[in-house]
Structures are given as C-alpha cells and as structure tokens.
Amino acid sequence: MAGFYDRLGAGLDAAALLLCRISLAGVFWRAGRTKVEDGSWLTPSATTRFLFESEYSGVPLPTTLAMYLATWAEHLFPVLLVLGLATRFSALALLLMTLTIQLFVYPDAWWPVHSLWAALALVLVSSGGGWLSLDNLLRGNRYRGVPVRA
C-alpha cells in the first residue's frame, strides 16, 4: 500500500510543480505582452516608456535599461518555465523581479498579489521543475518524484 501512496504522491508532485510553473509563467507573460507595441514581439511601447519614466521610476536602474530588462525577462522566463527548462534559474529571476516590484514600484501589493508570486517562485527554486520538465529529460530522467523516506 505504501508503494501506491508513493506513486500517487509522485504524480501529484509532478502535477503541482507543472501548475506552479504555468501559473507563474502566465502572470509574467501577460505582463510582458502589455509592455510591447501591437504586432511586435519585443519592442516596448510608448506607454511602457512613460510608465518606466513615471510610475516605475523608483527602480534603481536607468529607465531605458529597466524597461528593456523587464520586457525581455517577462517574455523569456515564462517560456522557460512552461518548458521546464532552467526552471530554478527562471523562477529565481522572477522572484527577484517580484521583490523589485514590491520594494520599488508597488509596496502596498504584498498581500495577496506579490506574496503568491513569491510563493510560487520559491516552490520552483527549491523543488525544480519536477518530473514533467525538460530539465528532468536533460538530466536523464533520474528524478521520478518519489520522495525518499528516512
């Protein structure tokens, strides 16, 4: 019976990590798409420039650099998360972005918004992409998601 529960737990673990990856990716992908010109993949819009010059001006980076870094990061890291490729690195990057937003842009949005983003990112930084990820495939399928019992 313990084998059944281990397999069930492994399957739920894989599903939970996949859901964490997709959920966190969705938040940042949608944010990234609002920053670009219509019909463009990565060209920031005039509105985005205005926001980085005014509302997001607290970010301790030059405006143009912050605008491009945010736009590119909100496109690259969500794709990597959905694929489960460089999961820990991507989640860490989005966690740092979340903390930057929290500290310098919207300090009143910790609960419930930024705390949930941070929680998803921390799960992925600590656990990786799980069994249903390209990280796992490239690792040679060593991770099966079955917890080791002491």
Phi and psi torsions of 141, nearest 5°: 55, 35
Phi and psi torsions of 36, nearest 5°: -105, 160
Q: What is the pLDDT of residue 8?
A: 83
Q: What is the pLDDT of residue 142?
A: 61
* Rounded Cα–Cα distance for residues 38 and 26 (Å): 19
Partners of 36 in the beta sheet?
44
Q: What is the pLDDT of residue 143?
A: 55
Question: Encoding tokens for residue 126?
Answer: 């600590």
pLDDT along the chain (150 residues), means of 10: 80 95 99 96 96 96 98 99 98 98 96 97 97 93 50
The whole model's pTM is what? 0.89
Alpha helices for the chain (secondary structure H): 2-33, 46-53, 63-83, 87-100, 115-127, 134-138
Q: What is the pLDDT of residue 140?
A: 85
